[in-house]
Amino acid sequence: VVVLSPSENVLNISFSAINFTFPTATTFQYRMEGVDEDWQQPGGNRSITYTNLKGGDYRFLLKASNNEGIWSKQPATLAIHVGTPWYKTAWFYGLLALMGLGLIYLIYNFRVRQIQKESRLKADFENQIATIEMSALRAQMNPHFIFNCLNSIELYIIKNDTQKAAAYLSNFSRLVRLILQNSRSNFVNLKDELEALKLYIKLEQMRFRYSFDYVLDIEPGLDPEDYDIPPMLIQPFIENAIWHGLNQKDEKGKVQISIRNGEEVITCTIEDDGIGRVASERINAAKKVKRKSMGMSITQERIDIINKLYNTNNQVEIQDLYSPEGAPSGTRVIINIPI
Q: What is the pLDDT of residue 145?
A: 67
Q: Is the pLDDT of residue 137 over 60?
A: no
Which neighbouring-strand residues pair with 30? 40, 62
Q: For 295, which DSSP code? A: H
Cite the residue boundaries of each domain of the chain with CATH code 3.30.565.10.
Answer: 117-338
Q: CATH says 2-88 is which class? A: mainly beta
**Under a CB-based contact definition with an 8 Å cutoff, are residues 292 and 285 in contact?**
no
List of long-range contacts for 128-134, beta carbons under 8 Å, 24+ apart: 128/305, 129/186, 129/302, 129/305, 129/306, 129/309, 132/298, 132/301, 132/302, 132/305, 133/183, 133/186, 133/302, 134/183
What architecture (CATH level 2) is domain 117-338?
2-Layer Sandwich (3.30)
Q: Is the pLDDT of residue 215 over 70?
A: yes
Cite the residue boundaries of each domain of the chain with CATH code 2.60.40.10.
Answer: 2-88
Q: What is the pTM of this model?
A: 0.59
% of the chain with per-residue pLDDT over 70: 90
Residue-wise pLDDT tens digits, 227-262: 998 888 898 899 889 988 898 888 999 999 999 998
Neighbours of 156 (CB within 10 A): 19
